[in-house]
Amino acid sequence: MKSTFYITTPIYYVNDVPHIGHAYTTIAADVLARYHRLTGSQTFFLTGTDEHGQKVQQAAENQGVNPQTYTDNIVTRFQDLWKSLAISNNDFIRTTESRHTKVVHEILNTLLKNGDLYENTYEGWYCLFDERFWTEKDIVDGNCPDCHRPVEQIKESNYFFRMGRHRDWLIEYINAHPDFIRPDTRRNEVLGFLQQPLGDLCISRPKSRLSWGISLPFAEDYVTYVWFDALVNYISAISYLGDDTTFKTWWPVSVHLIGKDILTTHSVYWTTMLHAMGLEMPRTIFAHGWWTVDGEKMSKSRGNVVDPNAMVREFGVDAFRYFLLREIPFGQDGDFSKSAMIQRVNSELANDVGNLLNRSLTMIERFAGGIVPPPRPSQDGDLEREIKEAVGGMKDRLDMRLGALEFHRAIEEIWRVVELGNQYIERSAPWKLAKDHTKKETLENVLCTQMEILYWLTLFFYPFMPQTAEAMAKQLGITIHFSNPLLGTTRWGAFPSGTTVAKGKPLFPRIETQPTQPEPVVLADPAGTSEVPLIGIEDFLKVQLKIGNVVAAEAVPKSKKLLKLRVDIGTETRQIVAGIATKYAPEEIIGKRVVIVANLKPAKLMGVESQGMVLAAGDREVEGLLSVLESVEAGTKVK
C-alpha cells in the first residue's frame, strides 16, 4: 500500500511582510515534505494566505485601493519568498479564491441546517485592533489585556457555532490520542484550557463593521469571522465537497504545523468544527516555539524584524534553512542572532562538510586523475563497517526523528556520518597510500568509499538543504533524481565507479567577521647569538599565539619545502606559508588544529605573502606540527 503524507502551514495574514516566523514554519514543513517524497510517500504540501479581515480592509483603505487589489499585490511577497527559500509546496491557497469561498458557504449552510449554528445578541468589550471580544473580567483598566489599547462596549446580533457541546468529546479524544496535539506541553495546555466551561464561538461580524469577508449565505448582512473562514482552507484546498477521490486521498491531514500562538484556534475551534462536520481529526497538530532576536521579542516597533530575504542574500538559502532547524529543538522558543548563525555556518557547514567534500575531490583528482576508481577489498574494516552501519540505519533513524519532528536530532544523526567521513580520511591517509605502489588497491578502495559517503550525504542533506544536495551531486559528477523515492530503495555501493568528478566552488565559503588586527610588535632578534638569552615574561607576552584551524592547503609552486595554508583563527582566515612540505602533504593537514604566531609582521616567502607562522617541532627538518590535545575553538589564545 502506498502511504500518503499531507502537511500544512498556517495561512499567513497579508497585512504583514513575511518574516522569520513565517519562514520557520514553512521551511520545517518543506523539510518534512521533501523527506516524505524521498522515502516514497505520496505527498501534498499546502501553504497559502489569509486575506480577509479588518486589518486588510484598513490597510487597503490607507493605500486608496480596493482590498482585492491590495491582497493581489501583497500575496506575491509570500510567493516570491517561498521561491527563494526553495519551498516545494504543491499548492498555494488564498482565502479570496472561489474554490475556497464556495466550500465555506456550503459548510455554513450544512451546519445551519443541522442546528450547529444559531443567531444571538452578543454584548461585550470589543478590541478593534485584535478584532475580538473580551469579557468584563479579562479587560484591564478599560484596556485590551493583549494589546493594551482601549476596548469599546458593543452590542450586536451575530451567528454562533455550538462549540461548547463538543467539549467532553474533545477531552476524551485528546486523552486517547497521544500524538494528536504535540509537543506534550501544548497538549497539556489545551487540556488545561478545556477544564473551564467551553463557550460557543461567534463566527460572524455585521457587514456594517467589517465588509471584507465571506458573506454568510443565509444572512447577507454578515460575513464570517476570520477563523471560520481561515481554518477551512485545509480542506477547501483538497476539494472537500468537490472531488471526493482527491479529498479522501489526503484527509485526514498528517501534520498541521503551527506556531504556539494559534494553538487554541487549531486544537479547539478547528477540531470541534471538523467534529460537527463529521470529518476525521488531523493526525497531528504540532505547535512550535517562537524566535526572539538577539534576546529581544521581535517587533516592528523595536525595528528588529528579521527579513528572510536579507538572510538569504547574506548567508545563502541553505545555510539559513539549516540554522533555523539546527539551532533550537522544534517546539521550544529560541534566539536568533547573526553571530550564532555565522558560528554554525563556519564550523558545521564550511568546516565539517566543506572540507570533507573538498578534500575528497582533491584526492580523486590527485591520485586517480579525477575518475572514481572501483571498490576494492577494504583495509580499514572496523571504521568502514561503522560507516556502512551509520548509513544503512539512517532511514530508520530519520523516520523516527522526523516522525517526532526532532529536526535538530535528525541533523545530528546526519552529522555523525560527516564526522565518520572526516575520520575515515584521517585514518586511512590516502596521501601515504599514494606513495606506496603495493597499496594501489587499498588507495582505490579508500577513494571510492569517500565518494560513496558523499553520495549518501547528498541524499540525507536534500530535505534540509536542497540546493546544496544538487550542487554536491554536480561536483561528484553524477545526476541524482531527487524526486524519486531514493531513500529506502538505494543500497550501499550505489555510487557509480568510473565517474569523472567536477570539483567546483566551495559550497559554504567561510564568513569572515571583522578582523581585529593586533598591533604589530617587532621582536628582538636572537639570531647569531650562540647563547640563548633569557627573556622576561613581558617579552614572551609580546608574542601572540593562537589556535588555528587549517581550512585549505596547497603547494607553493617551484618550492619543495613550502605549503601555502589558509588558517582560520576565529575572527579571520590568514594565509600562512609554512616550510612543512617535506613532512606533510596538503590534504593531510586540512582540518588540523595548529598553533600560530598571530602578531608576526607579514613577510613574503618565494613571492607569497605569509601573515603569521605555524609552530613546529624540529631543528633543520620539521618533525611535527604543534597541535592541542582537546578540541579547542579556532582563535583561542595560547599562553
Residue 256 in grid coordinates: 498541521
Restricting to residues 369-408, name those near ligand MSP by CB under 6 A: none
Please identify which residue in 5, 6, 12, 461 interacts with ligand MSP, judged by CB under 6 A.
12
With binding defined as CB under 6 A, does residue 261 bind ligand MSP?
A: yes
Residue 405's alpha-carbon distances to 30, 255, 287, 485, in angstroms, are: 12, 10, 10, 20
With binding defined as CB under 6 A, does residue 210 bind ligand MSP?
A: no
Residues facing 285 on adjacent strands: 181, 256
Instruction: Give the nearer residue to ligand MSP in terms of CB position, either 29 or 487.
Output: 29
Instruction: Give the nearer residue to ligand MSP in terms of CB position, either 129 or 492.
Output: 129
With binding defined as CB under 6 A, does residue 262 bind ligand MSP?
A: yes
Instruction: Give the nearer residue to ligand MSP in terms of CB position, either 331 or 570.
Output: 331
With binding defined as CB under 6 A, does residue 311 bind ligand MSP?
A: no
- What letter does residue 108 receive in the DSSP assignment? H
Smallest CA-to-CA distance from 482 within 461, 505, 501, 459 is with: 459
Sign of CA dihedral 198, 182, 234, 229: positive
Please identify which residue in 28, 32, 50, 255 interacts with ligand MSP, judged by CB under 6 A.
50
Residue 619 in grid coordinates: 631543528
Q: How far is the CB of 610 from ligand MSP (least distance, A)?
A: 46
Amino acid at 366: R
Query: Using alpha carbons only, what angle is made at residue 260 by residues 258 and 262, rounded to the nearest 5 degrees?
Result: 65
Residue 148 in grid coordinates: 493594551
> Segment contacting ligand MSP (CB under 6 A): 15-23, 147-155, 238-246, 472-480?
15-23
Q: How far is the CB of 19 from ligand MSP (least distance, A)?
A: 7
With binding defined as CB under 6 A, does residue 335 bind ligand MSP?
A: no
Restricting to residues 508-547, name those near ligand MSP by CB under 6 A: none
With binding defined as CB under 6 A, does residue 25 bind ligand MSP?
A: yes
Instruction: Give the nearer residue to ligand MSP in terms of CB position, either 13 or 482.
Output: 13
Give the 3-state secondary structure of residue 573.
strand
With binding defined as CB under 6 A, does residue 122 bind ligand MSP?
A: no
With binding defined as CB under 6 A, does residue 336 bind ligand MSP?
A: no
Instruction: Give the nearer residue to ligand MSP in terms of CB position, either 309 or 544.
Output: 309
With binding defined as CB under 6 A, does residue 331 bind ligand MSP?
A: no
With binding defined as CB under 6 A, does residue 215 bind ligand MSP?
A: no
Q: What are phi and psi of 590, to 5 degrees?
A: -65, 135
With binding defined as CB under 6 A, does residue 258 bind ligand MSP?
A: yes
Residues with Cβ within 8 Å of residue 432, at least 6 apart in sequence: none
Smallest CA-to-CA distance from 469 within 424, 388, 414 is with: 414
Residue written as cell 506575491? 76
Residues with Cβ within 8 Å of residue 306, at least 6 apart in sequence: 19, 20, 291, 293, 298, 336
Instruction: Give the nearer residue to ligand MSP in terms of CB position, either 147 or 502.
Output: 147
Q: How many of the other CB atoms lie within 10 Å of CB of 281?
A: 17
Q: Using CB under 6 A, list all residues that contact ligand MSP.
A: 10-13, 16, 21-22, 24-25, 50, 230-231, 233, 258-259, 261-262, 290-291, 298
